[in-house]
Amino acid sequence: MSVEAQQANVARSPSIAGVVRDAWAGSLPERYAEPRTSVPFARAVRAQLRPGQRILDVGSGSLPFLAPEDLPEGAHYAGTDISGDELAKAPEGWYHASYVSDVTRRSDELVGSYDLVISNQVLEHVKPLDAAMENMRAYLAPGGTMVAKFSGTFSIFGLINRMVPHKLAVWGLHRFLGYDPEHIFPAHYDHCWDSALRRMLAPWSEVRIDPLYMGAEYLSFVRPLQGLYVGAEEIWARRDVRNLAAYYIVTAKR
């Protein structure tokens, strides 16, 4: 479901109270029908794929976002991650090249080398985010595009994550939501909200920021609290309170 469709569905919702009642009964809004946020991000990436592209997956590590069958004809797909061990765990042959690199520190060998830079659920773990964004812009050739998805600073999980020790957060995500502890990393949520992102992305020639109000799944083990959070999300979505979105998909052209 597109972001526009999400917003249209929100606008047709009969009442906030009705949405909360449905959530308490176990029925989340329609935007939650898709598996988490991977579908809208995949759609945004696919819209940018072209034959022969040079694609860089930032922070991908052991989990490349694009499988070989997803790549356009003649594409070159590279991965970069701060951990060489994580890159080594990636499926054999999925990356055509890999680089051990901290995205907050510019890697000269990557500058101007890529037509498309993608990043999936990485940038909330990066600080300072403005340095990372500027480096990704530098890695693009003229006219190149970045597509990135990341969590929002003021999401429920973003707030909780910064209030509890990392080990406790890992335990909770594994115990209640079944997350793999090996893929849970410390998060900073540095300036991960709409107005801060717009200031940060001012040097780019074109910018689109799509907010996703889809944070309630983290509260699935406390249904009354989940219902109240869904109600709050409905208010934020209807009033276009973008700084409180749970996730963002950024599409920006150099």
Crossing angle for the helix pair 3-12 and 223-238, to the nearest 10 degrees = 100
Q: What total number of domains does the chain contain?
A: 1
Please name which of 178, 186, 119 lies closest in space to residue 147, comparing C-alpha atoms. Answer: 119
Q: Which residues pair with 208 in a beta bridge?
A: 251
Domain that holds residue 51: 3-253
Phi, psi (deg, nearest 5) at residue 83 = -115, 120
Per-residue pLDDT of the chain (254 residues; tens, 9 = 90+): 555 555 555 455 559 998 888 888 888 888 887 666 788 999 999 999 999 999 999 999 999 999 999 999 999 999 999 999 999 999 999 999 999 999 999 999 999 999 999 999 999 999 999 999 999 999 999 999 999 999 999 988 787 776 665 565 544 544 545 556 565 567 899 999 999 999 999 999 999 999 999 988 878 778 888 889 999 999 999 999 999 999 999 999 99
**Distance between CA atoms of residues 79 and 61, nearest Å:** 7
- Please name the amino acid found at residue 28: L
Q: In the numeric block, which tokens belong to residue 245?
A: 């979105």
pTM for this predicted structure: 0.86
52-84 core/surface letters (b: 16 or more CB in 10 A; e: else): ebbbbbbbbbbbbbbeeeebbeebbbbbbbbee
Sole residue written with tokens 């609290």: 225
CATH of the domain at 15: 3.40.50.150
